[in-house]
Structure formats: structure tokens, C-alpha cells
Structure 1
Amino acid sequence: MIFRRKAFLGAVSAFENAVRTHDADAAERAFAQLHAVYAKAGDGEFREAGPRLAALLDDVPQGPRAMAAVITGACVERGADAAACAPGVLAGAQEAFAAAEAFCARWAETGGGELPDPENDALDDEVVARTGYEQAIGWWTLPQWEMASVAVLNAKAVRQGSGGKAGLLARVERVAEASGHEFKCLAYALRVLDDEPLVVLHRESGTGYAMRMSGLGDNFQLHTLLAGALIAGGQVSGDAPSAREIAVCRDAPGQTPTTGVFNLVGADGGWIWNEGTPSDIAVVDGVRLLVLDPPPYQRGWPAGRLFPGMHGDLVLERVLDAREAADWFAKVAPAKG
């Protein structure tokens, strides 16, 4: 353990010194050593190394910067302070997606065609000549930036404290539209809502509920937690999910089969797809408003979390009284036949 600690944190120190003295050869050697030994480091070493590496990211050359961000993200997953590591990682992701956006534009301007696959194609001189080096590196490193960004966004403090989420999401969406690549993990992580009020109306019983949700990666997770809060909680009738199904949607590891018991519907009568995110639920009079109808067909899926490192929560704060529920029902479209 002593040797491994010296190897990992020694590589971190060597990398810091090389980056700060602008010694490219030493930085390359230290980075290679860092990459070779980090997987064997202990949790305490990861906790120490994460903020140190994050503080360097802005000064690391564009190519290895993305891999340094991945190692920083790995440190966060092993206990490093996500809030301390996030600014460097998310700023780097912003730059990479900005470069990738320019890459897609230049690719289209210079003849178009199928875009190179960053994970399977080599970056060659022809691509650089068409798009520019910085733009090409931005495109090629997006998978690494997505991985590192999701690692820090697993932390609620980062999601709540990052003022640049909307700008990054807009860039991600523009690059996705221009390229046809989805970047689903990062886009969904940036859409996660925390401490978000939600009014839920159960149409069959005419009842309503004030709820609050945090850390839900998709509507599959929301669906199961709604059934847990309302059916398992004794508010409405139906087939309740098991304690295990509810637990894996909160913070327990793994997945387990479940079956849908509702159809999630917006105030306008449109379906809220399980494949989407809670951010798809429209805001009505200052709060997201969701209607629960009977499912039109039986559908099952693996209950769990899209982001295993992100804890989810859905809290029933109070049952609406009959008059308040009726007021909310007056704002929604009738059930569709």
C-alpha cells in the first residue's frame, strides 16, 4: 500500500510540477505514469488527488486534458469532493462541446458526409485539414468529457451549485442535432431536477398530492417511485411495487423487474413518456403538474437508476384537500379515450 500510495500521489505531484512549469515532455511521462497506476490507488489517495487534478485541467494541453478529466471523475466516484472537482471538469466540457460544435459546422461546410466516430476512428491529417486541430480534438474527446461530467453531476451539490448547466445543455443539444450523436447520459444528467415541487393528480380517485423530487434520471424511475409513494403508501389502490423495486430507484444497488401501473400524462393531455425525464413535465401556475391515468397496456422494465451513482428521492409532502385538488383538475385536459 505504501508503494502504491507513492506511485499514485507521486505521479500526481510530478504531473502538477510538469504542467505548472510547462515541461511538455515531463508532463507526458508523468501523465503516462498517472494513467498506469491510478486504478490501484486507495480511496484516501483518490480523495486527495481529485481536487489537485481538477485544479490543473485548464492548463493541461487539449489532448490529454480529457483523459485527465476522466481520472478526476474516477477520483470523485471514489470519494473525492465533487464540488471541488466540478468547476474544472464542467468548464472543460463546455470548451470541448464548443469546439465540437465548430467541428460539425466545418465538416458540413467542407463536403459533409458521415462524421468520424470518436470511439472507433483514428484522428488523421485529412480530418484536421478539414476542420482544424482544436475543433477535431474537441469532437474526438467528447466521450471522455461526457464520462467525467456525469461523474461530478452525480452529486446533488454540483447540480444545484453549477450555474453553467443550462449553457452546457444547450451546447450538447446543438452538437447532438448537428451530428446525430445522442450524448444521452450527459444530456439527461444536466436535466435532473432537485428539490422540485410536483403536483400529482390521480384521475380515477379525483385525489391530488403535493410532492417533491430530487435526483431522478428518467421517468421510469419516477414512475416506480410514484407507485411506491401512492400505492404502497396507501393513498390509492393498485398493485404496489415491492420494497426492493422502490429501494433500487432510491439508493440501493442493482436493478429488479417491475411493471407499470400508471400512464403519466401532462396537463395538456399528452403522454409523458417513461423514456423521457421529469423535466418533460410542464409547469402550470408555477409548479410541474402531472396526471396519473390507468395504463393503456401492460409494460414492464428493470426498476433502477439511469445513474447508479445518483441517489433519487420522491417525497409526498401532503395530500391536497378536495377543493384544492378540484382546482388543479380544472387546469388539465380531459382523459383521452
Structure 2
Amino acid sequence: MSGAVSGFLTAVDDFERAIRSGVSADMEVADQRMRTAYQGATPAELTQAGKPLVAILNEVPPLARGQLAVLIGACVESGADPVACAPRVLANLAKNLAAAATFAKEWAEIMEEDLPDPEEDVEVPFTALFEVFDPFDVIAWWTQPDWERSALAMLQRPEVRRRLGPIRALLQERHDAFAEVSGRWNKCLDYVLRVLDDEPLIVLHRETGTGYRMRMSGMGDNFQLHTLLAHELIGSGFVAGEAPSAEAVAACRDADGMVPTFGSFNLVSPEGNWIWNEGTPSDIPVIDGARLLVLDPEPYRRHWPAGRFFPYMPGDLVFERALSAEEAAAWFSHVKPADATGATENPA
């Protein structure tokens, strides 16, 4: 590894050599030394360590691989290149999800007890399960939380999401299959896989008959979107109402923390179904190449802490322009009248 060498970086070099030597005892000693040194590592050191660690990720024994992935995720959170680190981590996550789902399915068929919690110690001797289940499937089950944590560090970066390609759909499919057979739905992983970037959004305000073209990126949930919509439309004087505070808006974009705020609209689909604040912008249907969202009056007052569902993921809603009356009318032609929607209630 080039550049200045610290205690942590030296430990990373030693770990890399131990892995490539193939001697288990050396690997264990070097791994422990690296994890001890990590406690005192600086962000600059973690930034340098990301690439060499991900380069040896697939050479590490499967039982220790997930923990190394968590360390790589920590390096990314401190400044390591997420584009360089993500492909190998996400490929392993896809493989691990499939194997963990197989373990969960076979456990339900063979065992007469609930699935063990992968974040707790197993009561039966761990290796005893290798006699009943495929060893990799067993390891995948217990390391699944590690792969999810590491992947979240990568997927919160727009530069990674822009390069996902087909693996996004594969990860979503495998996450859904894993959740179905195991009962372990990872909300964070599910939501981050649904994040939209540079996504066209048409917003129709039913009371005034007006429409607006916007573009959204990095929205973790619809609470975040709702707050920024109110800022763009009410704060700029396009529609009447009370705009959220500047602090709430900043928290939804890139400022730290959460700020109390309130609802301004009822978000609904063109069919009249409520778009839940707890959901994601991917719930908004696509019509003629754009997400089409209708804003109705609030049925009752709502409050929530404004901010970002994903702390490392900046969000943005860009106001492009108000639609002409003719354009708005054309978009409204896709929308059912308010009294004919049969809307379903949103508990938020």
C-alpha cells in the first residue's frame, strides 16, 4: 500500500499478506490485530484502506467475510471510494441473500422450532448445523446482517446507484424472496433499492387545477418528499398554506438531524389511492414517462420529524417550471375526480 503508513494501515498490510499466505493461524492473528488497530484509525486512514480490503474480500474465508465487508462499509462512510468498493460487496450480498433464503426454507422444512436470530448466538454448536445444512447456507444466514450493513454504506451514494444496472433488480428480487421465506424484511435495504435519482415528477394541485414539473433525487421516503414539496409550492407562493421551516427543508436535503414539521397536503395517485408518507416515491405511478402525483387537502393535521431516512444520502427536489393551463389539463385527464376515486386511507 502506498502513502503514509499508520498502525491501522500496517495492520491492513499484515492482514492482506496473511490472507494470501493461506495459513489460518496467521489470518486469525492478523485479523485481530487489524480490528484492534481499527479502534484508533483516523478517517484518512480508513479512506486509504478501502481499496486494498475490498481487493482481498473474496479470498477471506466465508465465515469472516461479512465482518470484513462491514469494515469496508465503515471505510466508505469515512471517505473511501464507494464506486471501487461497491461491486464486490453487492455481488456478495446477492449471493448471500440467495443462500440465506435457502437455509430459511430448509430450516422450516426440517426443524421443529423457529428460525434462529442471526444477530444472536446459536444455541446448537454452530458447526453441528453443517451436518444438516449446506455450510455456506448456514454461514450466509448468520452473516446476512453484516452484508446488509455494508451494502447500505454503498447504496446511499448516488454515484453507486447510477452504476447499479441489472444488479438492482436482482438484489430487490432476492431481498423479497429472502423476506418471504424468513420473515425478516430489511426496511432499509428495501427502501434504498427503491431510491430514484433524477426522476421526472409531475405534481398536480387539485384545488387550483395547476400543475408543476419537478425532478427528484435521493428521497428515502415520502415524509422527505412531502416536506420538500411544501417548500417548493407553498414557500414559493404557487399555492396557499404554511410552508415548512428552513431548518426542516435543510434537514431533508443535506443538513444533520431531524426537525419537527407538519403536513400540507394529502398525496394521492391519479386513481385516488393515498400515497403513504411511510412509503417511498417509487409508490407514485408512472404515466407517460413521469411519476404523476396529485395533491389534495389534508384530511387532518399531521406532524413528523423532518429529515433524511438515510443519513448519508442527500436528497433534492428540483422545481423545473409551472405547467401551462393546457399542459395541466392534459395531465389532469389521467386523474379521477376527487368524489369518484374510492380512495384508501393513509394512517400517516
1:169-205 alpha-carbon deviations (Å, 9 max, x no partner): 1101111111111111111111111001111111111
Q: Which moved more, 1:72-81 or 1:86-95?
A: 86-95
Aligned residue pairs, count: 334
Query: Shift in Å at residue 291 of structure 1?
Result: 0.6
Matches within 5 A, 1:158-173: 158-163=160-165, 164-173=167-176
Matches within 5 A, 1:102-113: 102-111=102-111, 113=113
* Correspondence for 1:182: 185
Query: Shift in Å at residue 112 of structure 1?
Result: 5.5
The answer (yes or no) to whether the contact 1:202–1:291 under 8 Å persists in 2 is: yes
- Secondary structure of the structure 1 residue equivalent to 2:253: coil
1:109-140 alpha-carbon deviations (Å, 9 max, x no partner): 21464111011232634544443221111111
Q: CA RMSD in A?
A: 1.5
The answer (yes or no) to whether the contact 2:108–2:115 under 8 Å persists in 1 is: no
Matched, 1:196 2:199: yes
Q: Percent identity?
A: 54
Once residues 308 and 174 of structure 1 are traced to their aligned partners in structure 2, the CA distance between those partners, rounded to angstroms, is: 27
* Correspondence for 2:154: 152
Q: Which moved more, 1:59-68 or 1:38-47?
A: 38-47
Once residues 157 and 81 of structure 1 are traced to their aligned partners in structure 2, the CA distance between those partners, rounded to angstroms, is: 10
Letter in 1 for 2:135: Y
> Where in structure 1 are there 5+ consecutive unaligned residues?
none
Query: Shift in Å at residue 20 of structure 1?
Result: 2.1
* Correspondence for 2:345: none
The answer (yes or no) to whether the contact 2:67–2:146 under 8 Å persists in 1 is: yes
The answer (yes or no) to whether the contact 2:96–2:140 under 8 Å persists in 1 is: yes
Task: Choose which of 100, 116, 139 in structure 2 pairs with 1:137.
Answer: 139
1:122-166 alpha-carbon deviations (Å, 9 max, x no partner): 263454444322111111111111110000111100011112111
Cα 1:130/1:233, change in 2 over 3 Å = farther
Once residues 124 and 242 of structure 1 are traced to their aligned partners in structure 2, the CA distance between those partners, rounded to angstroms, is: 53
Cα 1:261/1:130, change in 2 over 3 Å = farther
Matches within 5 A, 1:231-242: 231-242=234-245
The answer (yes or no) to whether the contact 1:197–1:212 under 8 Å persists in 2 is: yes
Letter in 2 for 1:141: T
Cα 1:130/1:247, change in 2 over 3 Å = same
* Correspondence for 2:218: 215
Q: Which moved more, 1:213-222 or 1:88-97?
A: 88-97
Matched, 1:303 2:298: no
> Where in structure 2 are there 5+ consecutive unaligned residues?
343-348
Once residues 95 and 316 of structure 1 are traced to their aligned partners in structure 2, the CA distance between those partners, rounded to angstroms, is: 40
Query: Shift in Å at residue 54 of structure 1?
Result: 1.1
Letter in 2 for 1:37: A
TM-score by length of 2: 0.93
* Correspondence for 1:43: 43
1:199-258 alpha-carbon deviations (Å, 9 max, x no partner): 111111111111101111111111111111111122111110000000000000000111
Matches within 5 A, 1:78-117: 78-111=78-111, 113-117=113-117
Task: Choose which of 276, 293, 306 in structure 2 pairs with 1:273.
Answer: 276
The answer (yes or no) to whether the contact 1:244–1:256 under 8 Å persists in 2 is: yes
Matches within 5 A, 1:16-35: 16-35=16-35
Letter in 2 for 1:218: D
1:13-51 alpha-carbon deviations (Å, 9 max, x no partner): 111112223222212211111111213111221111011
Matches within 5 A, 1:284-299: 284-299=287-302
The answer (yes or no) to whether the contact 1:5–1:41 under 8 Å persists in 2 is: no
The answer (yes or no) to whether the contact 2:215–2:318 under 8 Å persists in 1 is: yes
Once residues 192 and 99 of structure 2 are traced to their aligned partners in structure 1, the CA distance between those partners, rounded to angstroms, is: 21
Letter in 1 for 2:190: A
- Secondary structure of the structure 2 residue equivalent to 1:316: strand
Divergent runs of 4+, >3 A: 125-130
Q: Which moved more, 1:34-43 or 1:142-151?
A: 34-43
Matches within 5 A, 1:62-81: 62-81=62-81
Task: Choose which of 120, 123, 126 in structure 2 pairs with 1:124.
Answer: 126
The answer (yes or no) to whether the contact 1:224–1:249 under 8 Å persists in 2 is: yes
Query: Shift in Å at residue 60 of structure 1?
Result: 1.1
Q: Which moved more, 1:208-217 or 1:118-127?
A: 118-127
TM-score by length of 1: 0.95
